[in-house]
Amino acid sequence: MLGVNGLTRRFGDNLAVDGVTFEVPAGAMTGFVGGNGAGKTTTMRMIMGVLQPTSGTVTWAGREITVADRRTFGYMPEERGLYPKQPILDQLVYLGRLQGRSAAGAKQTALDLLDRFGLGERTGDKLESLSLGNQQRVQIAAAVIGEPEFLVLDEPFSGLDPAAVDSMVDLLREHTTRGVPVLFSSHQLDLVERLCDQLVVLARGLVVSTGTVSELRSRGRVLHRLVVGGDAGWVRALPGVHVVDVDGPTALLELEGPGSTDLVLREAMARGSVSELARVVPSLSDIYREVTS
């Protein structure tokens, strides 16, 4: 398990990361989300030791992290990091060797990964000759070539088509199944919702929420949608009902308790037909907007 404890980073007057604390448990896929400039990349760089924190610590397996620990980590940095003019297989084998793999082992894993990502015919091609999406696949292969004990991936899914996303998701799941903790940042909240076991939400350098998607959901306000035959504007007059929005026959409501639900239903039926009165299950995007606003 990796622990981030009160990590703080200033750039001059800019407090980019402000006392960030969270854990990435073994075998869990942790999604790191937050708007542009929230501090995700800065935090990941401090975890990887490529940027010094102003204060705070990173722990691995319950003790302060060492250089040797970090050598066992796989990292896909925001600025990527492979050589554009070198053949992709050579680069992967080289990186695997740097991370302690034998030449034969690194080559076999690299060939398997490239084959799996549809690049089996292009092993001798230079990185720059591949499309951006295919370059991204090679970057992910580079992060896992050393059989890492922890994976840090900065926006690994940006620019990937749905089929590539699915194969990356399968690859990452194989790692978490073996107990490897994975931390990845993404702005693709539908994907984060599908993929991650837990979330860390950052806003303006601060952790504003952590937990599973269902935990985050249960902390948010509960809304109901009412759809009636005519105009639903009458619902504004009911006690115990906070109207979030009314649009013709549809109203979005925050109800104070079961009594309010009964009241809304009774009133609606007395006034005509009722098509729907149901609890709204918020999407991760809705939750994200609520916790970061």
In the bound state with ligand ATP, the residue whose beta carbon lies nearer, of 42 and 134, is: 42
Nearer to ligand ATP, 36 or 177 (CB): 36
> Smallest distance from the beta carbon of 51 to ligand ATP, in angstroms?
8
Of the chain, the end-to-end C-alpha distance in Å amounts to 30
Sign of torsion over alpha carbons 12, 18, 24, 29: negative
Q: Binding string to ligand ATP for residues 14 to 53, with x set by CB under 6 A, is what?
A: x-x-----------------x-xxxxxxx-----------
Q: Shortest distance, CB of residue 198 to ligand ATP, whole angstroms?
A: 18
Nearer to ligand ATP, 15 or 252 (CB): 15
At 43, give phi and psi (nearest 5°).
-65, -45
Give the C-alpha distances (Å, rounded to integers) separating 250 from 58, 86, 230, 247, 281: 49, 58, 9, 5, 16
Least distance (Å) between residue 195 CB and ligand ATP: 18
- Output 27 or 159, the one with its CB closest to ligand ATP: 159
- Nearest to ligand ATP of 111, 208 (CB atom): 208
Across 118-150, b (16+ Cβ under 10 Å) vs e yields ebeebbebebeebeeebbbbbbbbbbbbbbbbb
Give the angle subtended at the CA of 57 by the CAs of 51 and 60, to the nearest 5°. Answer: 100
Contact at 8 Å (CB) between 56 and 8?
A: yes
- Tokens 């302690």, located at residue: 100
Residues near ligand ATP (CB under 6 A), total: 11
CA distance 26 to 96: 23
CB atoms within 10 A of CB 215: 12
Smallest distance, Å, CB 38 to ligand ATP?
A: 4
Report in angstroms how near the CB of residue 67 gets to ligand ATP at its nearest.
22
Name the β-bridge partners of 14.
11
How many CB atoms are closer than 10 A to CB 291?
16
> Which parts of 174-193 interact with ligand ATP (CB under 6 A)?
none
Assess contact for 199 and 186: CB atoms under 8 A.
no
Q: Does 209 engage in binding with ligand ATP (CB under 6 A)?
A: no
The DSSP output letter for 234 is G
CB of 283 to ligand ATP, least distance (A): 20
Nearer Cβ to ligand ATP (50/244): 50
The residue (of 34 and 96) whose beta carbon lies closer to ligand ATP is 34
Q: For ligand ATP, which stretch binds (CB under 6 A), given 11-19, 91-99, 246-254, 280-288? A: 11-19
- Least distance in angstroms from the C-beta of 278 to ligand ATP: 34
The structure tokens listed for 147 are 């059989």
Residues of this chain that bind ligand ATP (CB under 6 A): 11, 14, 16, 34, 36-42
